Amino acid sequence: MLVMSQHVLFMNLLTNKHILNSVALALAEDFGAGDVSADFLLNKIITAEIISREPSVICGIEYAQSTFLSLDDKIKLDWKVKDGECISSGQVLCVLIGASKAIISAERVALNFLQMLSSVATKTHYLVSKISHTNAQLLDTRKTIPGLKLAQKYAVKCGGGVNHRMGLYDCIMLKENHIIVSGSITLAVKLVIEQHSNLPLIVEVENLIQLQEVLTLSSVVTRALCDNFSINDLIQAVDVTKGKLPLEASGNINENTIVEVANTGVDFISTGSITKNIQAIDLSLRFV
Protein backbone atom coordinates (compact mmCIF):
# COMPACT_ATOMS: atom_id res chain seq x y z
CA MET A 1 0.00 0.00 0.00
CA LEU A 2 1.29 3.45 -0.85
CA VAL A 3 0.98 5.09 2.51
CA MET A 4 3.28 7.54 4.27
CA SER A 5 3.55 5.42 7.43
CA GLN A 6 1.39 6.97 10.12
CA HIS A 7 0.19 10.18 11.75
CA VAL A 8 3.51 10.65 13.56
CA LEU A 9 5.60 10.50 10.39
CA PHE A 10 3.49 13.25 8.88
CA MET A 11 3.96 15.47 11.89
CA ASN A 12 7.71 14.86 11.66
CA LEU A 13 7.63 16.01 8.04
CA LEU A 14 5.50 19.02 8.91
CA THR A 15 7.19 20.04 12.14
CA ASN A 16 9.16 23.23 12.44
CA LYS A 17 10.81 24.13 9.14
CA HIS A 18 8.00 23.18 6.76
CA ILE A 19 5.25 24.72 8.87
CA LEU A 20 7.25 27.82 9.71
CA ASN A 21 8.16 28.38 6.06
CA SER A 22 4.50 28.12 5.01
CA VAL A 23 3.43 30.44 7.82
CA ALA A 24 6.18 32.97 7.02
CA LEU A 25 5.15 33.10 3.37
CA ALA A 26 1.48 33.52 4.25
CA LEU A 27 2.20 36.28 6.76
CA ALA A 28 4.49 38.08 4.29
CA GLU A 29 1.74 38.05 1.67
CA ASP A 30 -0.79 39.47 4.13
CA PHE A 31 1.36 41.64 6.36
CA GLY A 32 3.59 43.47 3.91
CA ALA A 33 5.14 46.44 5.68
CA GLY A 34 2.75 46.10 8.60
CA ASP A 35 -0.89 45.91 9.67
CA VAL A 36 -2.09 49.47 9.19
CA SER A 37 -5.54 48.52 10.49
CA ALA A 38 -4.04 47.66 13.89
CA ASP A 39 -1.75 50.70 14.21
CA PHE A 40 -4.25 52.76 16.19
CA LEU A 41 -5.11 50.01 18.70
CA LEU A 42 -3.99 49.96 22.31
CA ASN A 43 -1.79 46.92 22.61
CA LYS A 44 -3.38 45.51 25.74
CA ILE A 45 -3.56 41.90 26.92
CA ILE A 46 -6.86 40.32 25.88
CA THR A 47 -8.56 36.92 25.86
CA ALA A 48 -9.96 35.54 22.61
CA GLU A 49 -11.69 32.36 21.46
CA ILE A 50 -11.67 30.50 18.17
CA ILE A 51 -15.17 29.12 17.61
CA SER A 52 -16.58 26.71 15.03
CA ARG A 53 -19.81 27.77 13.35
CA GLU A 54 -20.47 24.33 11.90
CA PRO A 55 -19.72 20.64 12.57
CA SER A 56 -16.40 19.51 11.12
CA VAL A 57 -13.25 17.46 11.57
CA ILE A 58 -10.57 19.79 12.87
CA CYS A 59 -7.13 19.96 11.27
CA GLY A 60 -4.33 22.52 11.08
CA ILE A 61 -3.73 23.32 14.74
CA GLU A 62 0.06 23.47 14.36
CA TYR A 63 -0.26 25.91 11.44
CA ALA A 64 -2.63 28.19 13.32
CA GLN A 65 -0.54 28.09 16.48
CA SER A 66 2.68 28.85 14.60
CA THR A 67 1.00 31.82 12.93
CA PHE A 68 0.13 33.48 16.24
CA LEU A 69 3.47 32.66 17.84
CA SER A 70 5.38 33.95 14.82
CA LEU A 71 4.04 37.42 15.57
CA ASP A 72 4.29 37.16 19.36
CA ASP A 73 5.80 34.17 21.11
CA LYS A 74 4.29 35.31 24.41
CA ILE A 75 0.72 34.51 23.28
CA LYS A 76 -0.73 31.63 25.29
CA LEU A 77 -2.92 29.19 23.35
CA ASP A 78 -5.08 26.60 25.09
CA TRP A 79 -6.42 24.19 22.47
CA LYS A 80 -9.59 22.37 23.52
CA VAL A 81 -9.46 19.93 20.58
CA LYS A 82 -6.94 17.85 18.65
CA ASP A 83 -6.38 17.33 14.93
CA GLY A 84 -8.69 14.61 13.65
CA GLU A 85 -11.36 15.30 16.26
CA CYS A 86 -15.00 15.76 15.24
CA ILE A 87 -16.37 19.03 16.56
CA SER A 88 -19.85 20.50 16.80
CA SER A 89 -21.29 23.87 15.84
CA GLY A 90 -20.62 26.51 18.47
CA GLN A 91 -17.73 24.62 20.02
CA VAL A 92 -14.75 26.59 21.34
CA LEU A 93 -11.57 25.26 19.71
CA CYS A 94 -8.97 27.42 21.40
CA VAL A 95 -8.63 30.11 24.04
CA LEU A 96 -5.88 32.70 23.44
CA ILE A 97 -4.40 35.19 25.88
CA GLY A 98 -1.98 37.80 24.63
CA ALA A 99 -1.33 41.19 23.07
CA SER A 100 -4.29 42.42 21.06
CA LYS A 101 -2.31 43.74 18.08
CA ALA A 102 -0.52 40.45 17.38
CA ILE A 103 -3.69 38.39 17.75
CA ILE A 104 -5.64 40.65 15.41
CA SER A 105 -2.84 40.71 12.82
CA ALA A 106 -2.40 36.93 12.86
CA GLU A 107 -6.11 36.10 12.96
CA ARG A 108 -6.87 35.83 9.25
CA VAL A 109 -3.83 33.79 8.24
CA ALA A 110 -4.25 31.45 11.22
CA LEU A 111 -7.93 30.89 10.43
CA ASN A 112 -7.18 30.41 6.72
CA PHE A 113 -4.89 27.48 7.52
CA LEU A 114 -7.33 26.04 10.04
CA GLN A 115 -10.40 26.45 7.81
CA MET A 116 -8.78 25.01 4.68
CA LEU A 117 -7.18 21.98 6.32
CA SER A 118 -10.30 21.27 8.38
CA SER A 119 -12.36 21.33 5.19
CA VAL A 120 -10.09 18.67 3.65
CA ALA A 121 -10.34 16.50 6.76
CA THR A 122 -14.10 16.98 6.94
CA LYS A 123 -14.77 16.10 3.31
CA THR A 124 -12.48 13.09 3.56
CA HIS A 125 -14.27 11.89 6.69
CA TYR A 126 -17.64 12.30 4.97
CA LEU A 127 -16.66 10.22 1.94
CA VAL A 128 -14.88 7.59 4.05
CA SER A 129 -18.03 7.17 6.13
CA LYS A 130 -20.12 6.65 2.99
CA ILE A 131 -18.03 3.63 1.94
CA SER A 132 -17.29 2.22 5.39
CA HIS A 133 -19.50 -0.80 4.68
CA THR A 134 -17.04 -1.91 1.98
CA ASN A 135 -13.34 -2.78 1.96
CA ALA A 136 -12.48 0.11 -0.36
CA GLN A 137 -10.03 2.70 0.93
CA LEU A 138 -10.24 6.35 -0.06
CA LEU A 139 -7.07 7.81 -1.60
CA ASP A 140 -6.07 11.39 -2.27
CA THR A 141 -4.18 12.51 -5.40
CA ARG A 142 -1.51 15.05 -6.41
CA LYS A 143 -4.25 17.64 -7.05
CA THR A 144 -3.20 19.75 -4.08
CA ILE A 145 -2.58 23.44 -3.42
CA PRO A 146 1.02 24.22 -4.44
CA GLY A 147 3.23 24.52 -1.38
CA LEU A 148 0.68 22.84 0.89
CA LYS A 149 0.80 19.26 -0.37
CA LEU A 150 2.14 17.79 2.87
CA ALA A 151 -0.40 19.76 4.88
CA GLN A 152 -3.34 18.65 2.75
CA LYS A 153 -2.23 15.04 2.70
CA TYR A 154 -1.90 15.19 6.49
CA ALA A 155 -5.47 16.53 6.58
CA VAL A 156 -6.61 13.57 4.48
CA LYS A 157 -5.09 11.26 7.10
CA CYS A 158 -6.88 13.19 9.85
CA GLY A 159 -10.15 12.58 8.02
CA GLY A 160 -9.56 8.83 7.80
CA GLY A 161 -8.30 8.67 4.22
CA VAL A 162 -5.16 7.05 2.83
CA ASN A 163 -2.37 8.81 0.99
CA HIS A 164 -1.57 8.04 -2.63
CA ARG A 165 1.98 8.77 -3.81
CA MET A 166 3.45 11.88 -2.29
CA GLY A 167 4.90 13.18 -5.54
CA LEU A 168 6.78 12.22 -8.67
CA TYR A 169 9.65 10.69 -6.72
CA ASP A 170 8.25 7.91 -4.53
CA CYS A 171 6.11 5.91 -6.96
CA ILE A 172 5.92 5.36 -10.70
CA MET A 173 2.50 5.87 -12.24
CA LEU A 174 2.14 5.11 -15.93
CA LYS A 175 -0.65 7.17 -17.44
CA GLU A 176 -1.99 7.50 -20.98
CA ASN A 177 0.75 9.81 -22.24
CA HIS A 178 3.54 7.69 -20.75
CA ILE A 179 2.14 4.66 -22.56
CA ILE A 180 1.74 6.54 -25.86
CA VAL A 181 5.35 7.72 -25.77
CA SER A 182 6.61 4.24 -24.85
CA GLY A 183 4.57 2.43 -27.50
CA SER A 184 2.57 0.11 -25.26
CA ILE A 185 1.88 -0.78 -21.65
CA THR A 186 4.24 -3.75 -21.83
CA LEU A 187 7.11 -1.68 -23.26
CA ALA A 188 6.54 1.08 -20.70
CA VAL A 189 6.60 -1.41 -17.82
CA LYS A 190 9.77 -3.00 -19.21
CA LEU A 191 11.53 0.38 -19.25
CA VAL A 192 10.39 1.11 -15.71
CA ILE A 193 11.67 -2.19 -14.36
CA GLU A 194 15.04 -1.64 -16.02
CA GLN A 195 15.50 1.71 -14.28
CA HIS A 196 13.38 1.76 -11.11
CA SER A 197 12.56 -1.80 -10.09
CA ASN A 198 12.66 -0.79 -6.41
CA LEU A 199 9.71 1.61 -6.64
CA PRO A 200 5.97 0.84 -6.52
CA LEU A 201 4.39 0.79 -9.98
CA ILE A 202 0.82 1.77 -10.78
CA VAL A 203 -0.50 1.40 -14.32
CA GLU A 204 -3.52 3.36 -15.46
CA VAL A 205 -5.85 1.51 -17.83
CA GLU A 206 -8.73 2.90 -19.85
CA ASN A 207 -10.52 -0.32 -20.74
CA LEU A 208 -10.72 -4.03 -19.98
CA ILE A 209 -8.36 -4.95 -22.83
CA GLN A 210 -5.60 -2.85 -21.29
CA LEU A 211 -6.36 -4.39 -17.90
CA GLN A 212 -5.83 -7.86 -19.38
CA GLU A 213 -2.42 -6.72 -20.61
CA VAL A 214 -1.51 -5.42 -17.16
CA LEU A 215 -2.56 -8.73 -15.62
CA THR A 216 0.14 -10.48 -17.67
CA LEU A 217 2.59 -8.18 -15.90
CA SER A 218 1.09 -8.55 -12.42
CA SER A 219 4.32 -9.88 -10.91
CA VAL A 220 5.95 -6.44 -11.29
CA VAL A 221 2.92 -4.14 -11.10
CA THR A 222 1.72 -2.87 -7.71
CA ARG A 223 -1.84 -2.13 -8.81
CA ALA A 224 -3.98 -1.16 -11.78
CA LEU A 225 -5.87 2.11 -11.88
CA CYS A 226 -9.16 1.88 -13.76
CA ASP A 227 -9.72 5.36 -15.11
CA ASN A 228 -13.29 6.48 -15.83
CA PHE A 229 -14.62 2.92 -16.02
CA SER A 230 -18.37 2.44 -16.06
CA ILE A 231 -19.86 0.59 -13.10
CA ASN A 232 -20.40 -2.50 -15.27
CA ASP A 233 -16.78 -2.41 -16.43
CA LEU A 234 -15.57 -2.04 -12.85
CA ILE A 235 -17.59 -5.09 -11.85
CA GLN A 236 -16.00 -7.02 -14.72
CA ALA A 237 -12.56 -5.72 -13.78
CA VAL A 238 -12.95 -6.98 -10.22
CA ASP A 239 -14.13 -10.34 -11.53
CA VAL A 240 -11.27 -10.61 -14.05
CA THR A 241 -8.54 -9.82 -11.56
CA LYS A 242 -9.93 -12.17 -8.89
CA GLY A 243 -7.43 -10.89 -6.37
CA LYS A 244 -4.45 -11.18 -8.72
CA LEU A 245 -3.88 -7.43 -8.59
CA PRO A 246 -5.28 -4.63 -6.40
CA LEU A 247 -7.63 -2.32 -8.29
CA GLU A 248 -8.03 1.42 -7.94
CA ALA A 249 -11.00 3.29 -9.38
CA SER A 250 -10.62 6.93 -10.39
CA GLY A 251 -12.44 9.53 -12.46
CA ASN A 252 -15.79 11.21 -11.79
CA ILE A 253 -15.73 10.20 -8.13
CA ASN A 254 -17.92 12.35 -5.90
CA GLU A 255 -20.43 11.99 -3.09
CA ASN A 256 -23.10 10.88 -5.57
CA THR A 257 -21.04 8.15 -7.24
CA ILE A 258 -18.63 6.88 -4.61
CA VAL A 259 -20.92 4.33 -2.96
CA GLU A 260 -21.78 2.63 -6.23
CA VAL A 261 -18.10 2.52 -7.14
CA ALA A 262 -17.14 1.07 -3.75
CA ASN A 263 -19.85 -1.58 -4.02
CA THR A 264 -18.14 -3.04 -7.11
CA GLY A 265 -15.44 -4.47 -4.88
CA VAL A 266 -12.47 -2.31 -5.90
CA ASP A 267 -9.68 -2.00 -3.34
CA PHE A 268 -9.03 1.73 -3.65
CA ILE A 269 -10.92 4.81 -4.79
CA SER A 270 -8.95 7.97 -5.57
CA THR A 271 -10.37 11.45 -5.96
CA GLY A 272 -8.88 14.92 -6.21
CA SER A 273 -12.09 16.43 -4.87
CA ILE A 274 -11.03 16.02 -1.24
CA THR A 275 -8.13 18.43 -1.71
CA LYS A 276 -9.31 20.76 -4.49
CA ASN A 277 -13.12 20.90 -4.40
CA ILE A 278 -13.42 22.06 -0.82
CA GLN A 279 -15.39 24.71 1.05
CA ALA A 280 -13.73 26.40 4.02
CA ILE A 281 -15.11 25.49 7.42
CA ASP A 282 -16.83 28.46 9.09
CA LEU A 283 -14.60 29.49 12.02
CA SER A 284 -14.32 32.81 13.80
CA LEU A 285 -12.14 34.50 16.42
CA ARG A 286 -13.79 36.74 18.99
CA PHE A 287 -12.43 38.75 21.90
CA VAL A 288 -14.17 37.90 25.19
For residues 33 and 22, what is the distance between their CA atoms, to the nearest angstrom? 18
Residue 240 has phi, psi (to 5 degrees) of -70, -40
Catalytic residue check, 123: no
Catalytic residue check, 108: yes
Catalytic residue check, 175: yes
Annotated catalytic residue, options 80, 143, 149, 276: 143
Catalytic residue check, 227: yes
Catalytic residue check, 130: no
For residues 223 and 274, what is the distance between their CA atoms, to the nearest angstrom? 22
Annotated catalytic residue, options 80, 108, 149, 276: 108
The DSSP annotation for 175-187 comes to -HHHHHHHSSHHH
Indicate the residue type of 211.
L
- Please report which helix (H) or strand (E) contains residue 285, including its range: strand 283-287
For residues 181 and 186, what is the distance between their CA atoms, to the nearest angstrom? 12
The DSSP annotation for 120-175 comes to HHHHHHHHHHHTTTSS-EEE--S---TT-HHHHHHHHHHTT-B----SSSS-EEE-
Annotated catalytic residue, options 142, 175, 190, 276: 175
| DSSP 8-state class, residue 63 | H
At 170, is the secondary structure helix, strand, or coil?
coil
Residue 256 has phi, psi (to 5 degrees) of -85, -20
What residues are annotated to the active site? 108, 143, 175, 204, 227
